[in-house]
Amino acid sequence: LVCETARRGRRVAVRAAESPSKGKQQPAAFYRVRIFTFIGILVGYACYYLTRNSLTYTAPVMVASKELGLDVSSIGAMTSIFPIAYGMSKFVSGVLGSMMSASRLLGLGLICTGLINVCFGFGSSLAWFCTLWAMNGILQGVGGPCCARILTSWFATEERGTYWGMWNIAHNLGGFMAPILAGSAAATLGWKWGMWAPGMIGIVVGCVLVLGVKDKPETAGFDPVEEEAPPSAEEEAGDEVPESKQSIKQILFDNVLRNPFIWGMAFTYFFVYVIRQGVTSWFVFYLLQEKGASDAGIAAARVSGLELGGLVGSLLAGRLSDMYISKSKGKGGVVGKRVQVVIAYTIGVALMLLAFRCVPAAWPAGQWLCIFMIGFFLYGPQMLIGLCGAELVGPSSVGASEGFLGWVAYLGAANAGVPLSIIVRDYGWNAYFTTLLCACGGALLLLSPMTNLKSYTQRVESKKKLN
């Protein structure tokens, strides 16, 4: 079935260009345009996070405003609508976006989400706020799949993990900017500016993305980082449709949903997001009830290591996977090498969860260190699984693959809410940690058959040799 998936609709047969130095030499201008493109998608996706989290840090000021007449349940209604819209949008936009310019869609999506933040500030009714925030959730799903398509077009196999990990810090950057910008603006200038300031920044950055970022090297006048091969005999005979000319149905069903390993990656993502959301949602409560934290502020300070550890772990995971691929000198599957790194990281998550459960309540520094290491090991798989999904399919199907993976991942995040709360309430914290460890075990079980998995590039190369 995998061979059939690789065989269908494949025009862009690429050479396994292991690094820029091993592929065709590019002019100096190529690297200038590429670094601008990379910075563009890094800052652009950080701004998506900024316009996504603006409400979180503006909400307390909105509740305090007597003019609006809102309470905590009103804010809960808005925030509950967002993930439903976002999860479906990520899937749909990933599929539809495969047929459009990635950079243009990325920029226009950011402009629109910025406009929604601005319009939000002009409202005064709950219906207005809920409608606009649902629309924001729909538009937010555009960002990730578009960035994935641009990254895989500009960076070759052996360097892609490093840059994917560097791009992944946009999550942390946007999360860092939101409380400083939105929270400060809302506190000093009023709740409207808590929405207006992020919105205006999103509009400006979105315009830069539309005007300046290029989808791929070819649109900027350069050679591709992984060269096209001549059409296959099947394509010349008209038996196969080039991927770039395939319909949405062919891209989604033939290239993505009929690939069993995409499903394996998706369900692995599901378990990873159960763990991630379970950690971020419940560790503060666990510290308050079981580990001696006297108030929510102290508990939050101890949990602060999670994002910092995630930043370090995701950067290192990408670099390690690239080094592993480089040292293999073309032997074995590229995706399989990254899967092996994911397996090692997942084992690390399980060990650190056990360590955190056992660390004494009287040792807050040890608790912070355990949480740092949980973040370190957890964010590596989160980043690399997305990259593996992108490398399993052809260039035109990357958006659809990432959209599908993101949708399933968000289903996992949703299952870390009410289900885990019931487990904690009815069975206690031991059952909570057992559930997270079972999720680690489920991820490892799904990953185990994929340790030698070849990328789309390698499968097409193998097919060429056979022909």
Q: What is the average per-residue pLDDT within 109-113?
A: 96
Q: Which of 55-59, 145-149, 213-217 has the lowest mean pLDDT?
A: 55-59
By residue count, the chain amounts to: 467
Confidence of residue 5 (pLDDT cuts 50, 70, 90): very low
Q: What is the average per-residue pLDDT within 276-296?
A: 82
Helix (H), strand (E) at residue 355 = helix 334-358
Q: Which of 102, 343, 365, 91 is nearest to 210 (CA)?
A: 102
Say whether pLDDT at 244 is over 70. no
Say whether pLDDT at 106 is over 90. yes
What 3-state DSSP class applies to 67? coil
**Rounded to an integer, what distance in angstroms lies between the CA atom of residue 284 and that of residue 298?**
9
For 248, other C-beta atoms within 10 Å of its C-beta total 12
**Rounded to an integer, what distance in angstroms lies between the CA atom of residue 437 and that of residue 275?**
8
Give pLDDT, residue 242.
Answer: 55
**Rounded to an integer, what distance in angstroms lies between the CA atom of residue 16 and that of residue 332?**
12
**Rounded to an integer, what distance in angstroms lies between the CA atom of residue 14 and that of residue 226?**
5
- Of residues 120 and 395, the one with the higher pLDDT is 120
Torsion sign over Cα 53, 197, 46, 173: negative
Residue 431 and residue 423 in contact, taking contact as beta carbons nearer than 8 Å: yes
What 3-state DSSP class applies to 255? helix
Question: What is the DSSP secondary-structure string of 22-85?
Answer: TSPPPPHHHHHHHHHHHHHHHHHHHHHHHHHHHHHHHHHHHHH-TTTT--HHHHHHHHHHHHHH
pTM: predicted TM-score of the whole model, two decimal places: 0.75
Give pLDDT, residue 68.
Answer: 87
Give pLDDT, residue 158.
Answer: 81
